[in-house]
Amino acid sequence: MSISRRKFLGWLGTAGLSVTLGRSAHSATNKHFSGYPDSNGVLFDGTHCIGCRKCEASCNKVNELPAPDRPFDDLAVLEKNRRTHSGTFTVVNRYAVASAPGKPLYRKIQCNHCLEPACASACFVRAFVKTETGAVTYDESVCVGCRYCMIACPFEIPTYEYGEALTPRIRKCTLCHPRIEKGLLPGCVEACPTEALVYGKRDDLIRLARQRIFRFPDRYVDHIYGEHEMGGTSWLYLSGVPFRDLAMREDLGNLPAPSLTKGALSGVAIVAGMWPVLLTGVYAISKRKDKIAETEKSEAVAAAREHADAETKAAVEKALAQAKKEKAKEIELLVKKALEEAAAAQKEAAAKSETEEDA
Amino acid sequence: MREETVKADNHYFRPFTPFNIVAGIIVVIGLLLTVLRFTRGLASVTNLSDYTPWGIWIGFDLLVGVALAAGGFVTSAAVYIFGLKKYHSAVRPAILTGFLGYALVVLALHYDVGRPWRLPYPFFVQQGTTSLLFEVGACVALYLTVLFIEFSPAAMEWLGLKRARNLVVRLTLLLTIFGVVLSTLHQSSLGALFLIAPSKVHPLWYSAYLPVYFFVSSIIAGLSMVIFESSLSHRYFKDKMDPEHLADKDNVALGFGKAAALTLAGYFTIKVIGIAADNNWHYLATGYGAWYLVELLGFVALPCFLYAVGVRDKNLTLIKWTAVLTIVGIIINRFNVSMIAFNYHLPAGERYFPSWMEIGISIFIVTIGLLVFRFIVTRMPIFCAHPEYKNTH
């Protein structure tokens, strides 16, 4: 697909959408959104994390989540890799890495708070909002529970209260949005004893991460995960081993989620605009064909009838003439016969009278 | 004695036919599962997880249901827009099948979503217009209304509402065009739902052409469903059919079979183009590749060939069975995109397989569809023209 065609469709799509909805779909332009200015984020430095699970405990406390099956100081849960679920907004997993044998590595999992979130793009009631402070928030008062956000999220973050019969919610990390509004730090950041988590302006965090990579090139992989992944995320990661060794996907690409659907969305306006025209055209053509066929048919019938009429007329005339001729002949014959009879009668009468006179 | 003869003639007075017994059992189980779903939540009836939020209630009830209900727009477009009037007798059964199909899709969604009474929220409370699901929802809601109006003349003829019926019949062309527009949009959008998750759908099934694939294959599904439904109806409801319907039956199978063969050929071509466009050839040598080839060769190329042979030889049995093969192929395709190739990157332990209760609800919903279909075709003029309205449409 060439750029110019895509752009063209994009323009048309934007025009159509903004006419109908009165809101701009800037995914269909060549503008690039690189995050709200001065928005916040968190930098996770994998080389500092010791897997103490203090962040998990703090998260559980500040978000008033249900108590876990096993206490947070029980590090045996690290034997297994876990994921977030409706009662857990963040987990720390331990990974055995071949390139660093005997040295366990840890990674914290929670919502990455994308700059252009897939969940927000996918939500058909706009329950998710990327706030200007950086957090992606969720409004349960409008949520229908369709779970399309869970399909859409490339990081498999949103979770669902499957056990709730009538009031299930999507659950995920809020970047402690309520706490940040009060001027507090996110629960996990506040609890981290090793400064593996740093909260701050995203731009500053990127600078800090670059600085660390520059100063300790042997310690870090030369990549800030989240700077560009899926269009960039508010959470950023540094690691001493390739990110795939920490079960982080390296094949997500740098396109923000909305750009994946903009083509299909811009097609909507085109179909809605052009299909009626096309279909009415097809209808008109088929109608006209029917009409032409109808006219041709009636013309053919009329011509055939006319032809048939003429033939009949001729035949009748011929028959009449014949009849006339025959009649005339018959009359002639009859007249002749009558005359002959008359002549014979006259002759006979004359002969009779002659005999009478003789007598 | 006389009463008994009447009973024997009319099978609705015989409640204990094998079909009714099986349907009855399914409905009872379905109702029990319904109670379970709305008292204990999805966790108690489904195998859904935080990794796999959509199971067969979306993969089968929504994706397959909508595709197989495409017969309505395909047939009405063929007859009223393309002017193929010789298929007129197929319109009403197809519209009815479509209407019931969409109604059941909406019913099934009530089980799947968390708070079904909020289903109108996307339209009336807060509009998430950047979501493909918004488009699907809007188009399905509108199209269900269109199908209801398109179907209504049959009900109004039955009820004797002559003036209303004539008014609606006058709207036929407008409704048909609207129906085709809406169908194009939501059939394709169901495929486009997965565009946002390139990291989760196996590359062989993920393509920028997904919306086009879903739309084109829905036409194939619609054509095949009309053939399939008509052959079943001729078996079980022959006594309800008028001479026009009986005479047109073979015509419909031949014409729709030919159209399906051509559309399948086009579909095969664009599927191959999709593989080429993303340069996914190397995946064909993997396990997923083998399964992809089964779908592409066994359920696209093969039915294309069989339809063509069936039409050439006027072999109606072959056409009928090809319709079944094609429908199975559509089901496989929707399952592949939404479940089998979805989350392909996860270890086997995290993958989804439906619970018997999820399957039970799906069967329950299909059974309700069959029962309502039977109720309607045995009462309303679906397979025949109403005597008062002969030659009026």
Cβ B38–A165 below 8 Å, yes or no?
yes
Would you say A162 and A168 are in contact if contact means Cβ atoms under 8 Å apart?
Answer: yes
Cβ B114–A251 below 8 Å, yes or no?
no
How close A89 gets to chain B, by Cα (Å)? 12
Please name the residue of chain A whose CA is at the shortest distance from the CA of residue B129. Answer: A124
pLDDT at A35 over 70: yes
pLDDT on residue B16: 81
| Residue A142 per-residue DSSP state | T
Q: Which of B42, B50, B130 lies at the smallest CB-CB distance from A85?
A: B50
Q: What is the pTM of this model?
A: 0.86
Residue B390 pLDDT level (bands cut at 50, 70, 90) = low
* Each residue's pLDDT tens digit, B240-265: 888 877 877 788 999 999 999 999 99
- Three-state SS string across B178-216, please? HHHHHHHHHHHHHHHHHHHCCCCECCCCCCCCHHHHHHH
Residue B73, amino acid: F
Percent of chain A beyond pLDDT 70? Answer: 90
Residues of B with Cβ-Cβ distance to A164 under 8 angstroms: 41, 114
Residues of B with Cβ-Cβ distance to A272 under 8 angstroms: 181, 185
Establish if B119 touches chain A: CB-CB under 8 angstroms. yes
Establish if B185 touches chain A: CB-CB under 8 angstroms. yes
Return the percent helix, strand and coil in chain B, to nearest 5.
80, 0, 20
Establish if B347 touches chain A: CB-CB under 8 angstroms. no
Cα A276 versus chain centre, distance? 20
Residues of A with Cβ-Cβ distance to B37 under 8 angstroms: 165
Across chain A, mean pLDDT equals 88
Q: Which of B40, B48, B133 lies at the smallest CB-CB distance from A122?
A: B133
Would you say B139 and B43 are in contact if contact means Cβ atoms under 8 Å apart?
Answer: no
pLDDT at A9 over 90: no
Q: Whose structure tokens read 């979501």? A: B131
CA angle centred on B65, ends B59 and B66, rounded to 5°: 105
Beta-bridge partner residues of A41: A200
pLDDT at A204 over 80: yes
Residue A26 pLDDT level (bands cut at 50, 70, 90) = very low
Cβ B197–A258 below 8 Å, yes or no?
no
Q: Rounded CA gap, B168 and B174, in Å? A: 10
Closest CA to B30 of B87, B136, B104: B104
Q: Which of A83, A125, A263 lies at the smallest CB-CB distance from B208?
A: A263
Q: Which of B137, B197, B199 lies at the smallest CB-CB distance from A249?
A: B199
Cβ B196–A161 below 8 Å, yes or no?
no
Please name the residue of chain B whose CA is at the shortest distance from the CA of residue A28. Answer: B130
Give the ipTM of the model, two decimals please. Answer: 0.90
* Each residue's pLDDT tens digit, B211-237: 999 999 999 999 999 999 988 888 888
